[in-house]
Structure 1
């Protein structure tokens, strides 16, 4: 059984340096320095492949680690997005049976986003990864509508990945508990996921999928909590004057991946909201690192061989147009 993982992170030393040099660096960069994360993130060769082999992963779809180039100035974002996309393609060309890649885009320079998306697609990128905002500009801002139109037309799925909430939100909700606890609460413990679910909801409420019905979004971490609150979120459709419920958009325009959270209870709930055709495997490497035994045990909770085939490879192959 082929196993494809679609959210496998990496970074370049140049991007790390640029992000750390910002007047107020993203505090979540600290996670890249924990243990051997930095070494693993920068490795696009034999070390990463050896880990894949140990886990039983046949193909990794490489995705730049948070916060990507989003916090950078327009000029820096254009330069480093282009360089990162070139680097990822070079790794894929060197290891064509093991790697594919999601592009990164200069979202702080909206007028250049589509050009880089098109260039990345032409080079072989199979989709793109973005975050819920760039600076103070939300992803649903009308300035990005041309990007979503292009992503839909080019059949480039958009992975909407977590990022740390704004300082204003952190001041209001995520501070006062101690430095380390504050950061954990604002990131992997809660804030990352709530922030991403809100960004996804804003795209729906803005009418993005009514304008671009072929647009496909990927959410990690079993839907970033959104799938667990759809009974309430559905009421927003009426308030926003949408033609469909939020649940309907989720079932038709969103794919959901595991991000290494191999909890069968999360799988069960997700399947109560959407179908197995919308689920995709990922490990969120190197931040989650399930063993082969843990992966095999989890896959046993999918009840049929066909469901396992969809989750492990068929859905990713179809969504990203993979030629393996």
Structure 2
């Protein structure tokens, strides 16, 4: 059974320094250990893929990348260079590597142009955005031009976890909550809900969002979202459909970083069996563990084939 994964990270030398922003969120003894593996797209990575049964990896820049760069011109330049470098990697091993565009969302129109260049000229599968960009979330009015283009291209946009602008007081005094243990999932799930409540998917029905980590808990909450929104204060124009409609129609998720049958079944039920895709989150998760888990996952073989490859082939661009 073919396996495609699409939250598999790498770095270019020019972007390696930006990942230090995440060191505040992880064990200090482990903080920089991933960088050598992120820089490697050669035989070592291919050996890891072979060892865990992964046929094809859609590569993406490990966050936050240029999204924390205050110099807009520099951010755009570095993003384009990273995408060119990734295109070269893909050209050398088209049988093993694809790519998600790295975008400087500081300038949404130029980001839209870069997305189009990447999927049309370079053969990328979509884009990855690492959370908010200098305090601006993807539902902001200035990002409308970006969503117009992404929807027209039918290019999926993967929201990868990142930090909010400032640490909320609820995390203060508990550093374990700040990062991959909890806050990144909360931040990313909230970002996705902002897009729904802002009507992004109502205005752009062909827009497609991807979330990692089994949907950042959202599949578990679909019933409550539908139940509570009508009684909640929300100044946005009323949506013609319940939140679960957009979650199932416009949002897909990957298994990245969650190798357990219970949340897998929840994601399949909450988002639908056509909207869950296999991923590992290399090098931040153990590829061998992911491979062993999906091999034995207790779901029907036909559904497992969808998760492992068919859904990605249907959702991602330039992928057969």
Task: Give me the whole-angstrom Cα distance separating, in 2, the residues matched to 1:253 and 1:171.
Answer: 29
Segment of structure 1 superposing worse, 226-235 or 53-62: 226-235
- Deviation, 1:133, is 1.3
Residue 207 of structure 2: which of 206, 215, 233 is its match?
Answer: 215
Task: Give me the whole-angstrom Cα distance separating, in 2, the residues matched to 1:153 and 1:237.
Answer: 31
Give the match's secondary structure for 2:313: helix
- Residues 1:272 and 1:144: Cα distance change in structure 2 (over 3 Å): same
Residue 236 of structure 1: which of 229, 237, 246 is its match?
Answer: 229
Task: Give me the whole-angstrom Cα distance separating, in 2, the residues matched to 1:251 and 1:227.
Answer: 9
**Contact persistence 1:8–1:283 (CA under 8 A):** yes
**Contact persistence 1:59–1:99 (CA under 8 A):** yes
- Deviation, 1:296, is 3.8
- Residues 1:31 and 1:140: Cα distance change in structure 2 (over 3 Å): farther
- Deviation, 1:274, is 2.4
Contiguous gaps of at least 5 residues in structure 1: none
Give the match's secondary structure for 1:66: coil
**Contact persistence 1:237–1:243 (CA under 8 A):** no
Alignment TM-score, normalising by the size of structure 2: 0.91
Residues paired across the two proteins, number: 312
Give the match's secondary structure for 2:66: coil
Residue 312 of structure 1: which of 305, 308, 312 is its match?
Answer: 308
Q: Which residue does 1:128 correspond to in 2? A: 127
**Contact persistence 2:210–2:253 (CA under 8 A):** yes
Moved over 4 A (4+): 28-33, 237-240
**Contact persistence 1:114–1:150 (CA under 8 A):** yes
1:1-324 aligned within 5 A = 1-17=1-17, 25-28=21-24, 34=31, 36-73=33-70, 74-121=72-119, 122-167=121-166, 170-177=167-174, 182=175, 184-234=176-226, 235-236=228-229, 239=234, 240=236, 241-291=238-288, 295-324=291-320
Q: Which whole-Å deviations, capped at 9, do the CAs of 1:257-302 have from their partners, x for residues lacking one?
A: 111311111112222312211110000000011316x524434334
Give the match's secondary structure for 2:46: helix
- Deviation, 1:31, is 7.1
- Residues 1:54 and 1:200: Cα distance change in structure 2 (over 3 Å): same
Task: Give me the whole-angstrom Cα distance separating, in 2, the residues matched to 1:140 and 1:87.
Answer: 29
Contiguous gaps of at least 5 residues in structure 2: none
**Contact persistence 2:18–2:66 (CA under 8 A):** no
- Deviation, 1:309, is 1.2
Segment of structure 1 superposing worse, 257-266 or 268-277: 268-277
**Contact persistence 2:219–2:269 (CA under 8 A):** no
**Contact persistence 1:131–1:139 (CA under 8 A):** no
- Deviation, 1:29, is 7.9
Task: Give me the whole-angstrom Cα distance separating, in 2, the residues matched to 1:275 and 1:264.
Answer: 15
- Residues 1:271 and 1:143: Cα distance change in structure 2 (over 3 Å): same
Q: Which whole-Å deviations, capped at 9, do the CAs of 1:183-218 have from their partners, x for residues lacking one?
A: x41210110000000000000000001110011110
- Deviation, 1:26, is 4.7
Q: Which whole-Å deviations, capped at 9, do the CAs of 1:85-112 have from their partners, x for residues lacking one?
A: 0111100001110000000111112231
**Contact persistence 1:262–1:295 (CA under 8 A):** no
Task: Give me the whole-angstrom Cα distance separating, in 2, the residues matched to 1:191 and 1:145.
Answer: 27
- RMSD across aligned C-alpha pairs, in angstroms? 2.0
Task: Give me the whole-angstrom Cα distance separating, in 1, the residues matched to 2:279 and 2:296.
Answer: 16
